[in-house]
A and B are shown apart, each in its own frame.
Chain A
Amino acid sequence: MPNHDEMKPVDTRKIREMLNQKKGKMKRYLSFCAHCSLCAESCFLYMAHHKDSQYMPSYKAIQSLGKLYKKRGKVDRKFLTEIKGIVWRNCVLCGRCYCPIGIHIPSMIALARSICRSQDVYPRLDESSAESWL
């Protein structure tokens, strides 16, 4: 049976507000990323998952926050559920990722998390999901 939260409409105005609030910073982080992938090895999750590209810090930021900015906040619950795994499971916000240009990747993931949380998209202990949150 679908969860009540899964059918709740997304407050796109709130998302847009949150995105605009940090637009100057995040847009500069996203647009000056050289897409060099040199941040990969600094992520312990990337190393622990046999160098699986989806754990690369820049991939996580671009796929979550980058997409949110690209869509200008006009997203549906399906999209937020898609990025849920990226921002809540694939990144633990340890802050060890190293960008040669100096981009602070955790702050991007943290904003994507805040946006997800504002729309009640976050992992729960009683979640009956095939995905492991460990």
Chain B
Amino acid sequence: MYGLIRGPMVSIAFIVFVFGMIFQLIQFFKLTRKKGWVYPPGEIKFEKKTAGQWVAFCLASLRGTLWRTDPLMMGVTWVFHVFLVGIPIFLLGHNILLDQSWRLSLWSLPESVTDLFSLVVLACIIFFLGRRLFVTRVRVITTVYDYVVLLIAAVPFLTGYLAYHQWFDYDTVITLHILAGEVMLIAIPFTKLGHMLYFFLYRFLIGSEYSFARGARTW
């Protein structure tokens, strides 16, 4: 079992993840078509501003955005998503494994930092869980599936943290950690975790300052 999860399952998970993402990407461009017109470019006049004016300008541009309507959730979700993607990529242990197998590795964060950051990710997940349980407007659209997806995101970090501190039986915990990572990779293209890709793809459809190609595509 340990051999299967550590060996072929890792490759399978990565292949499913990569091909699933490519499939979704192709599907998006197949389903959408180029629009006959694009939104005109925004007319932004760059004027020289003092530092105080810049701060006022930045604060004013936040007006009406989610940073103003729900700053706590925005802050937490921002930190969560950056760390969720960043920690596994820049983790020392992962990079050592990469170096051993492929002779290439990325820059790594110190272990004490990633250790703290994974706790932050877990805290964010607890915040999301709390929202799902106690905030009415979130609870009305919450299904069991939402909790499962939250669990899929939580388990790799929880087991990773436990494995690093060698709490409980190390072999079991690290196997669970690898399995959880594989489940997450496989789940990304086919569950609502697919917003990882579609967050960016939907920008092709939106004609605003947050878009790609000025909203040049349509369904």
Interface on A for B, CB 8 Å cutoff?
22, 24-25, 28, 31-38, 40-42, 51, 53-54, 56, 58-59, 62, 98, 100-104, 107
Query: What is the CA–CA distance of A62 and B143 in the complex, to the nearest angstrom?
Result: 11
What is the CB-to-nearest-CB distance from B187 to chain A, in angstroms, rounded to a whole number?
A: 12
**Does the CB pair A53–B192 fall under 8 Å?**
no
Which residues 157-214 of B sit at the A interface, judged by CB distance below 8 A? 191-192, 194-195, 198-199, 201-203, 205-206
Tell me if B11 counts as interface (CB < 8 A to partner A). Answer: no
Interface stretch of the complex, out of B34-42, B91-99, B108-116, B130-138: B130-138
Which residues 61-92 of B sit at the A interface, judged by CB distance below 8 A? 66, 69-70, 73, 77
CB contact under 8 A between A102 and B206, given known A37-B135, A51-B137: yes
**Does the CB pair B140–A102 fall under 8 Å?**
no
23 contacts between A and B (CB under 8 A): A28-B28, A32-B192, A32-B195, A35-B143, A35-B192, A37-B135, A37-B137, A37-B141, A38-B66, A38-B70, A38-B73, A40-B137, A41-B66, A42-B69, A56-B140, A59-B137, A98-B66, A100-B66, A101-B199, A101-B202, A102-B201, A102-B202, A104-B205
What is the size category of the interface that chain B forms with chain A?
20 to 34
What is the CB-to-nearest-CB distance from A122 to chain B, in angstroms, rounded to a whole number?
A: 24
What is the CB-to-nearest-CB distance from A51 to chain B, in angstroms, rounded to a whole number?
A: 7
Closest A residue to B200 using CB positions: A102
Q: In the complex, how many residue pairs between chain A and chain B have their CB atoms under 8 Å apart? A: 70
Interface on B for A, CB 8 Å cutoff?
27-28, 31, 66, 69-70, 73, 77, 131, 135-138, 140-143, 146, 191-192, 194-195, 198-199, 201-203, 205-206, 219
Query: What is the CA–CA distance of A98 and B202 in the complex, to the nearest angstrom?
Result: 13
Query: What is the CA–CA distance of A77 and B191 in the complex, to the nearest angstrom?
Result: 31
**Does the CB pair A56–B27 fall under 8 Å?**
no
Query: What is the CA–CA distance of A62 and B146 in the complex, to the nearest angstrom?
Result: 14
Query: Which listed residue (A35, A51, A54, A103) contacts B146, Cβ 8 A?
Result: A35
- Return chain B residues, CB-CB under 8 Å to A42: 69
**Does the CB pair A25–B219 fall under 8 Å?**
yes
What is the CB-to-nearest-CB distance from B201 to chain A, in angstroms, rounded to a whole number?
A: 8
